[in-house]
Amino acid sequence: MTPTRREGSRAHRHPEAGFSLIEVMSALVILAIALTAVFATFISQQKSFTVQNRVAGMQQNLRQAVEYMSRDIRLAGYGIPDNITVPDNVIAAGVTSLRSLYAKDNTTGPDEIYILYLFDMDANQPPTTITAAMPTPSAELNVVSTTGFIDGDLVIISNGTSADLFEVTQVQTAALKLQHNPGGSARDYNDAGGHSAWPAGGYGAGATLAKARFLRYYVDSTTDAAHPTLMVDRMGSFPAQPLADDIEDMQLTYGLDTSTPADGVVDTWVSNPATPSQIRQVRLQFIARTRLPEAGWSETRPALGNRPAGTTPDGYRRRTYDIVIDVRNSGV
């Protein structure tokens, strides 16, 4: 019998194309290997990017800290002809005067430093002069202008020979007066006798008034122990302010000119100078660390200055910074 057309079509049909199970499994294995490689590369790049960002942030903190402190250390003692009386215990027990720098050494933690200088201000905050001789005792000063002064400012009055520090308690703009009444502050810079200890007869007309920079730099490791912060305390009625985050250590060493007479050359380096007027250079050292620890990274805080190294490894990356700063106004 002759096959029908339909039967003939079936007889000549070719097998359909496709993948075998082995081929499919091989493709899946290759795809899995490729995806694993891509994912591993992504994780590596992400980790590298994160580390770079953290290190960059750490270095930025260091630069900011050094910039501010270098400026203030260089200016220490500027515009101050002699030691200025400060309240006992504001700096330390028994310390009642300051002209430029006061060092607080610490072998078990970060150091501290106090800095005092005259701030000439700028066009928006110019210095002023008094228009009439001040009485003794005194609780107010008649001035040419009150521009730039606010309640709570620390101000230095000077006639070029003597200088004194006081705190502004009230700015009387219309009357052109600066009040300096005593009392009401844990840091009372205003003498209870109305500054009867100022020069005999008080300061005369023309004596200069300008804001004082009285600063304390220290590392706050207690408010947030995981993120130690370099702080600046302006020593008036205002609270301390954060300057740079994640500054783990600050150590200071002082270069002294001990020659007689002084020749301006550093003869020795000490951590706790007994005679601040001999300071000619300050060595400022910082350790900054990343904000967060890194998994798999183990590092111990290194020794710095006269403070020994840490004993417990952790996951923080660190950078140190070391700079020597000239002090031009600390001598008497």
What are the pLDDT digits (tens) for 124-163? 778 999 999 988 788 899 999 999 999 999 999 999 888 9
8 A C-beta contact, residue 311 and residue 302? no
**Distance between CA 276 and CA 252 in Å, rounded?**
13
**Distance between CA 190 and CA 167 in Å, rounded?**
6
User: Cα 263 to the chain's mean position, in Å?
Assistant: 32
User: Above 90 in pLDDT, residue 3?
Assistant: no
Q: What is the mean pLDDT of the chain?
A: 87
- Give backbone dihedrals phi and psi of 49, rounded to 5 degrees, phi first: -65, -45
Query: What pLDDT score does 317 carry?
Result: 87
pTM, two decimals, is 0.82
| Average pLDDT, integer, range 282-300 | 90
Identify each DSSP E strand in the chain by its residue range.
84-85, 97-98, 101-104, 112-118, 128-129, 140-142, 154-158, 163-167, 170-172, 177-179, 208-220, 229-233, 241-245, 247-256, 268-270, 279-289, 318-326
Question: Hey, what are 139's tokens?
Answer: 């609780």
Reduced to 3 states, what is the DSSP secondary structure of residue 318? strand
Candidates 149, 234, 237, 238; CA nearest to 185 is 237
8 A C-beta contact, residue 179 and residue 172? yes
Range in 37-51, 119-133, 216-230 the model is least confident about = 37-51
Query: What pLDDT score does 122 carry?
Result: 77
Query: What pLDDT score does 179 carry?
Result: 93
Task: Tell me which DSSP letter residue 136 carries.
Answer: S
Query: What pLDDT score does 40 carry?
Result: 78
8 A C-beta contact, residue 327 and residue 70? no
**Distance between CA 319 and CA 220 in Å, rounded?**
19
**Distance between CA 135 and CA 202 in Å, rounded?**
6
**Distance between CA 167 and CA 183 in Å, rounded?**
11
| Average pLDDT, integer, range 171-178 | 96
Query: What pLDDT score does 50 carry?
Result: 62
Range among 40-54, 123-137, 170-184 with highest mean pLDDT value = 170-184
- Please provide the DSSP assignment of 73-129 as one string: HHHTTTT--S-EE--TTSSSTT--EESSEEEE--SSS--EEEEEEE----TTS--EE
Range in 181-190, 245-254, 280-289 the model is least confident about = 181-190
Question: Hey, what are 135's tokens?
Answer: 């009485």
**Could you tell me the pLDDT band of residue 165, with boundaries at 50, 70 and 90?**
very high
Candidates 327, 288, 320, 326; CA nearest to 305 is 320
Candidates 316, 321, 290, 289; CA nearest to 304 is 321
Q: Which residues contact 113 (CB under 8 A, 6 or more apart)?
A: 73, 101, 102, 103, 104, 216, 217, 252, 282
Candidates 119, 107, 83; CA nearest to 215 is 119
Query: What pLDDT score does 12 carry?
Result: 57
